[in-house]
Structure formats: C-alpha cells, structure tokens
Amino acid sequence: MREKPRRCGQSKTARRSFAQTQDGYLWFGTEFGLVRFDGVRSTPWQPPAGEHLPNNINALLVTRDGTLWIGTFAGLATWSGGKLTPRPELGEVSGDHSLLFA
C-alpha cells in the first residue's frame, strides 16, 4: 500500500490539538512538540534560547488577550509576547488529559 502524497507544509506527525492565534498562525500540539503553520508551511516551533517546552502537547487554547496556553503531560505553559512561561503554580497534569481545557 502506497502512502498518499503530502502537500507542501504537511507533517506526518499526528496532531492532538490546534488553536489559532491573533497573528493568524495555526498551532498544532503533537507528541513531538509544537508545530506552527503560517498558511503555506508547517514548521516545528523552537522556544527561545534557555527556555524549554516538554513534548507530548495535548491541549492548546488561545485567550482573548492573545496568550497561547499549552497543555502537556508535564503541566501547563503559556506563550505570550515572545516569552514562554511554565505554570507550575497550576500543578502537574494528571488523570483525563482530554478535559484540560473543557
């Protein structure tokens, strides 16, 4: 069985969640991290130097102020104003991860 050809910008990675930020980017949460889609191509997103985002992203949410909330199996983080901020004060994620942003 042959694999269906992919269009430019598509990834083989299974997308677990997605959200669109106010700047028009589509963000996809995958088992390997965040992927940002600009309308033409998908690019694996890398946090700024010295900052770390765990893999296994399972939930994304954009708030009215434009903050991208990122739910991982290790906990929560936010991306806003060019800064990635872990949110350990909200505790580790456990139990049913699908309800993280319900």
Tell whether 44 is covered by a domain.
Answer: yes
Q: Please report, as a single letter, which amino acid is at residue 26.
A: L
pLDDT tens profile 33-68: 999 999 999 999 999 998 888 888 999 999 999 999
Is the backbone of residue 26 left (phi > 0), alpha (psi -120 to 50) or beta? beta
Tell whether 102 is covered by a domain.
Answer: no
Tell whether 77 is covered by a domain.
Answer: yes
Contact criterion met (CB below 8 Å) for 50 and 84? no
What's the pLDDT band for 102 if we cut at 50, 70, 90? very low
Tell whether 91 is covered by a domain.
Answer: no
| CATH number of the domain where residue 32 is located | 2.40.10
Tell whether 2 is covered by a domain.
Answer: no
- Distance between CA atoms of residues 1 and 48, nearest Å: 41
* Domain housing 63: 15-85
pLDDT tens profile 67-100: 999 998 888 999 999 999 988 776 554 544 444 4
Tell whether 70 is covered by a domain.
Answer: yes
The predicted pLDDT at position 92 comes to 55
